[in-house]
Every structure is written in structure tokens, then in C-alpha cells.
Amino acid sequence: MSETDALDSRATTPTVVVVCGLPGVGKTTVAEDVADRVDGRIVRTDVVRKDLFSDPDYTPAESRRVYAELFDRARETVEGGRSVVLDGTFKDAAHRDRALELSESLDADFRLVKVECDEDVVRERIRRREGDESDADFEVHAMFRERFDPIAADHVAVDNSDGIEETTRQVAERF
């Protein structure tokens, strides 16, 4: 196989991209940019949760159902030949591992992106949220910060503290 054939083959291989991080760091902004670059469908835990539960309680059982549905939608998307960008906190390493296992079972490429942001910026963004699918406030951000499993797998980090232009530059560099 020539180098050109290898590149052409890779270009048509769907990718599973996980965009993770704490509430309010700008995961959806990054996920939208990544989805444009990989021609992928975004599947957000916030949207899945609202699809499944009209009045979410954010219990562990509810979260298990949300992630199960998220992975089902990802599987359908990749089996349809399209890349998928999964947008959620993915605070539990087990969920990140499951996404990797799913991509491997589908012969899809896998990318893990952690979005980070200065706390002062996060606090202001959460304060200004209006009409967003997320219900997370700064208390949830702080709680998740304490419970976010360290990332041991290969990943890239995007710092979303300095505005959309800088964030877009970082995403372009990595994708």
C-alpha cells in the first residue's frame, strides 16, 4: 500500500472522539469544532439525558442509562460510516475506557480530548448560561473536579480559557 493509499484509507475510517472535562469548561464549543473537522455527528450527554428523562435526578442509575444510550448512538453513527464526537464530562475512567473499546470493536480510530479552563472563566461562563442543555452550576463543577478520574490514556488537552480564536487554533493544531 502506498503512502497515498494509507492516507485515503485513514480519511474514510470513522473516528470516535471523546471530548471530556469538567462542567463549564467549554466542551461543546470544542466538540462542535472537532465535529466540523472530522465530519462527525455530536452526541451530548446533556441532550441524551433530556431525551431520556423529562425531569432528571442525576442519580448514578440515570447516568448509567445516559452513557449506555450515548454509546448506542455512537455505535449506530459509526456503523453508518460516520465519525462521532461524544461530548460529556466522562469523569469516570470506565466511561473513557468503554469509548475506546467501542471504537476498537468498530475498527474506528479513537481520539481523546480533555478540555480545560481557568476557574474564574468557568464561573463567569456558568453564570451567563441561558437556554443551554446543561443544568450544571459551579457547585457541580467543583464536585466533579474532586471526582474526575485522572486520565492515563493518550490524549490531547485544549485550554479554553482565552477565547474562541485561541481555542479554534488549538483544535486546528490537533485535528
Per domain, the residue ranges of the chain are 12-174
Ranges 60-74, 88-102, 126-140: which has the least confidence: 126-140
**Please, are residues 156 and 174 in contact by the beta-carbon 8 Å criterion?**
yes
pLDDT (average), residues 155-159: 96
Question: CA 118, CA 128: separation in Å to the nearest integer?
Answer: 16
Between 13-17, 73-77, 88-92, 120-124, the lowest mean confidence (pLDDT) is in 120-124
Average pLDDT rounded to a whole number, residues 8-27 = 84
pLDDT at 2 over 90: no
The answer to whether residue 8 scores a pLDDT higher than 50 is no
Q: Which strand ranges, in their side-by-side order, compose the sheet holding 83-87?
A: 40-44, 83-87, 15-20, 109-116, 156-159
pLDDT score recorded for residue 128:
75
Other C-beta atoms lying within 10 Å of the C-beta of residue 25? 27
Please tell me the pTM assigned to this model: 0.86
What CATH superfamily is the domain 12-174? P-loop containing nucleotide triphosphate hydrolases (3.40.50.300)
pLDDT at 121 over 60: yes
pLDDT per residue over 54-93, tens digit each? Answer: 998 889 999 999 999 999 999 999 999 999 999 999 999 9
pLDDT above 70 (res 22): yes
Residue 4 has pLDDT above 80, yes or no: no
Tell the residue number behind the cell numbers 503512502, with chain if given: 3
Lowest-confidence segment of 79-88, 136-145, 164-173 by average pLDDT = 136-145
Over residues 110-132, mean pLDDT: 83
Query: Of the given ranges (105-114, 128-137, 151-160), which has the lowest mean pLDDT?
Result: 128-137
Tell the residue number behind the cell numbers 471530556, with chain if given: 20
pLDDT of residue 135: 58
